[in-house]
Structure 1
């Protein structure tokens, strides 16, 4: 009984962590959309990563694991470059052109990208259903993009949705790297590296913040930015890194399918966003592609052609 209880607990904890991360990520689309309406995306991202780094700094000494040289540094640098640097850059600009709801729906393609990335970099066998699902999902993204007309919440949806798709490619690379690095480093070490790198990468945002100010209602702006920095940038990525370190990459990434629904809810509740009938059909195509891919057989791990991405768990 004790063993069964312990086993259940060890499974529920990472699942609960990932569910918490997904809820925070889903809410972030509406919050980001609100801020980029009057702040430069670089300024928003510097505030987010700066707040997260500031909060994490006092605890770094207790949670931080020493970084090994060589291949580990390359993998860590690439992880941070994908997320938060490129991911946040693409997504923040995407939300200046498209709606939070449409951007959130495009994130449904992320689990399939992770599966395809595993096939390319780790030589995992992707099933026919997986490839068909990816193609169907991408068709849905294209339909969602082409059906979007300029509006108050989306002045250039084609460009915005394309940038969001690039952000998802970066997120897929990040997830594959986190799964590899979690064998050697704790989740909060990875989170600290991410936030420190983002704070430096988005440093030009500090200049823009000083030059342009933080809007007509500074307290409201800082409250939303604080939520994004403390709860989303720090909390969500920390929780996801915890879950990713204890669950298979495919299973962990599958929870991302909940993000579009959460993003759509907050886009409707906070920003009064809606979808046209054509966009609803396109969204259904995206989810159909995801569902088709998940019905395929499990993928088998073979070898990894990139040596610095290949890592066996270390227990020293």
Structure 2
């Protein structure tokens, strides 16, 4: 991935366009975060990560395949180099990242998983500064710091009360964060050259094929027969936690750039606070609400950023 030409810069945009891009990134992040809650609900039916991610991709693949076929018929063919890059991005960004994430959720809580995944903006900014020699503005660092303080406050209890093997689960989710940061930056140049819809559709087809193939290699086909609730939750996972946020994230990256889009997505972990309360019956404390306020303050600072 380090040899891939990455360009995360974006042309100057009006304030209204920046705010619209941030809104898309935030909505996508919330939907992405919902998959952790859905995964916890699915694990109650005693399925494993391999089966969970296979069902997720089985329900989302038809949409991505339809978009891919449409783009193949209406757009010029890609170069051999771009095809291989898309294969690599699909395997790293949504196959490896998602698989490691769902594996980690078997060992740690939703809160801790979200906290670790939000090291992703740190990796994005670090790669941008080190490899692209691009200066990170003070407002971005301040927004990042405020948001991380809020996340720590929101999930401080989860850090000390996680169940299962905390070390194993944390390392798996950390690997997921690194993989997704590499994917997000790797798409920066390609998304403007070939378009967000085309890139996402092709990359997700690669990822879906890998996830489904992994299931049939590692698990018996009889595991495709599951309770009706598993199919329903998997449908939610495939459509609302995969299809919608994937396209929304790419649109946001195209409009406001990878570093800003990844930081705006910090609202995602905070959304799990309310999802956990509404769906899993987890309480909301004053400390958690205070953390939510800090994260929202960080998002507001990003909306004031001049590009």
User: Distance in 2 between the 1:77 and 1:57 partners?
Assistant: 15
SS at match of 1:96: coil
Matched, 1:107 2:117: yes
- Which residue of structure 2 lines up, in the alignment, with residue 303 of structure 1? none
SS at match of 1:183: helix
Displacement of 1:106 in angstroms is 2.1
SS at match of 2:66: helix
Displacement of 1:24 in angstroms is 0.6
Contact 2:64 2:202 in 1 (8 A): no
Contact 2:188 2:258 in 1 (8 A): yes
User: Distance in 1 between the 2:193 and 2:41 partners?
Assistant: 38
Contact 1:145 1:161 in 2 (8 A): no
- Which residue of structure 2 lines up, in the alignment, with residue 42 of structure 1? 50
User: Distance in 2 between the 1:90 and 1:166 partners?
Assistant: 7
- Which residue of structure 2 lines up, in the alignment, with residue 148 of structure 1? 160
Displacement of 1:137 in angstroms is 6.0
Contact 2:111 2:158 in 1 (8 A): no
**1:97/1:45 CA distance change after superposition, 3 Å:** same
Unpaired runs of at least 5, structure 2: 1-12
User: Distance in 2 between the 1:12 and 1:230 partners?
Assistant: 25
**1:226/1:162 CA distance change after superposition, 3 Å:** same
Displacement of 1:177 in angstroms is 1.3
- Which residue of structure 2 lines up, in the alignment, with residue 210 of structure 1? 221
What's the TM-score, normalizing by structure 2?
0.75
Query: Which of 83, 87, 108 does residue 77 from structure 1 map onto?
Result: 87
- Which residue of structure 2 lines up, in the alignment, with residue 18 of structure 1? 25
- Which residue of structure 1 lines up, in the alignment, with residue 3 of structure 2? none
Displacement of 1:169 in angstroms is 0.9
Displacement of 1:72 in angstroms is 2.4
Unpaired runs of at least 5, structure 1: 1-5, 301-316
**1:206/1:230 CA distance change after superposition, 3 Å:** farther
Contact 1:43 1:204 in 2 (8 A): no
- Which residue of structure 2 lines up, in the alignment, with residue 313 of structure 1? none
What's the TM-score, normalizing by structure 1?
0.73
User: Distance in 1 between the 2:126 and 2:18 partners?
Assistant: 26
Query: Which of 255, 263, 267 does residue 272 from structure 2 map onto?
Result: 263
Displacement of 1:183 in angstroms is 1.8
User: Distance in 2 between the 1:51 and 1:30 partners?
Assistant: 18
Query: Equivalences for 1:226-237 in 2 at 5 Å?
Result: 226-237=235-246
User: Distance in 2 between the 1:273 and 1:161 partners?
Assistant: 21
